Structure 1
Amino acid sequence: MPDERRPGAGGELTVPMAWLYAEYIADELLRTGDLMPPTSVEFRAGRDALALTVFLSDTEGELAGIKVITQLETWLSLTAYDQPWQDWVGERLALLALEEPDGPGPDLRLARDAWRWLEETELLAPDLDAVPGGGPVPGDEDGPQAWIPAWQLGLPLGHLAIHLF
């Protein structure tokens, strides 16, 4: 891992505590929901989408002091199906970048990396836009599938994990 020393920090190591805490919360919510194996790529998609939601919804910089129970409704509303979550993520990342005049800190860099992975990685998932009533192809028990960006699978998994908590 690269040295995370920042100008003006007295040469001290800057640890991405806000991101790590958001990732921890997301991981615990998904493990509690027991929706998929923690070693699966789907789990990672859910964890990263949920971690971004947790991290970016912390507008007061109080992430380490929050009580998860008090934030569940906020996270549910942000991850709901009819919300433009991906636009919100892009806007929040851009806003946070403006707030860091010395360049992105380690928290923001990790959040950007997670977002880049969620956007660029495609996962094979059930095709929810398939023609209704079009039964599965013979030999294909799962029905129609499509390649989608990882966030499109991870976001509903994260949303469901919050519900199950």
Structure 2
Amino acid sequence: MQPSTDRAAVVQALILASRAFVGMTARSLAAAEEEVTLPQFRTLVVLAVRGPQRGVDIAEELRINPSTGTRMLDRLARKGLVRRTRSASDRRVVRLRLTPAGQELVDQVLTRRREELERLVEATAELWRPEVTRALTAFAEAAGEVSERDWWLGWTEHQDDEG
């Protein structure tokens, strides 16, 4: 990257893009039957991506206070979107996992978001060069996101673990 003005322009473009992504997710959530906040949805996505987790691990991933995470997980459990299970080897360890309803909600929201992204990419098709795609992929990897393929494979593996 060249001068600092280029870096500032990139940061500004990413801020605008992140607002657009949050807006797409919010619209997709609003269309869902289940009332879920953005932080609650992010929790569901963490469970979908990472599989069963301890509450403290989820709070750490979301960078929130563990007590805040516990309250949020309690709400999601009451809605039937997550469930708690005890470890067979250590009964003190409680893990949370998505229920089928939780996974269905994640799938619905992500499908709506994908459809909106496909529409936007089509409208801006002339801008999508391989280097743009590589840069966005590297950015997501640096942020700790897993690829779409790995995300879906992770869910299939966790489903198989249940039964």
With the length of structure 2 as denominator, give the TM-score of the two structures: 0.28
With the length of structure 1 as denominator, give the TM-score of the two structures: 0.28
Which has more helix, going by share of residues?
2
